[in-house]
A = this chain, B = another copy of it.
Amino acid sequence: MKLYNCATAPNPRRVRFFLAEKGITVDMEEVDIIAGDNLKPGYLKINAAGLVPVLQLDDGTNLCEAPAICRYLESQRPLPNLMGANPLETASVEAWDRFAELNGMQAAGEVFRNSFEPLKTRGLPGSTLVDAIPALVERGKTRLAAFYELLERRLGITQYLAADRFTFADITACCVVDVANFLKLPPPAANRNTRRWHDAVSARPAAKA
């Protein structure tokens, strides 16, 4: 298997983190998003939407979208379980993973894509070319603050995001916080549940993948 990766992007990191938790090694091919490698005809044949990551199977099948890739990998290597051990837990993992992605990742992405000069004509991930909209930087910060508030509240109820154990939802939320840290928009220092959780997730060896 080969992962079309981008070392600096958060969505490929979700898959690398997941692979490392499973103890699966794959070949990697770097796709430099900033340089526009993901918009070149060769890559658009692999993913027409111009997004990373893609997991290419040995028969040439290209699997797109980080959660779909990870669910497939879990079917091939069920342990340690990261996507849910029963239907209710699976629903919780998917719902909280989506919470982290749609509220957190998209918020951080909105800040980054609309303020980073080299991407000023690429305000969205992938092949749809739209100009940056400066008003989205502030909107992204507002969304990120709301995400942090809900995250803190949730982590006061459960030890990890989807359950009282580590799952894929924690991988996604950790990738959000680390991107936000890079953007100098960390969780509020008073959010002690978030800090406890982020320290625990970040201490996992797979977090370095």
Interface residues of chain A, those whose CB is within 8 Å of chain B, are: 48-49, 61, 63-65, 67-69, 71-72, 75-76, 87-88, 90-92, 94-95, 98-99, 103, 123-124, 127-128, 130, 133, 135-136, 139, 142-143, 146, 150, 153-154
Contact = CB atoms under 8 A, between A and B. Distances in A.
16 contacts: A48-B153, A49-B150, A63-B92, A64-B95, A65-B94, A65-B95, A65-B98, A67-B94, A68-B91, A68-B95, A71-B91, A75-B87, A123-B139, A127-B146, A130-B142, A130-B143
B94 A75 contact: no
Give the oligomeric copy count.
Answer: 2
Main SS class of interface, A: helix
Given A76-B87, A130-B142, 13 more contacts: A63-B91, A64-B95, A64-B99, A65-B99, A68-B95, A68-B98, A71-B90, A72-B88, A124-B143, A128-B143, A130-B139, A133-B136, A135-B135
A148 to B, nearest CB: 11
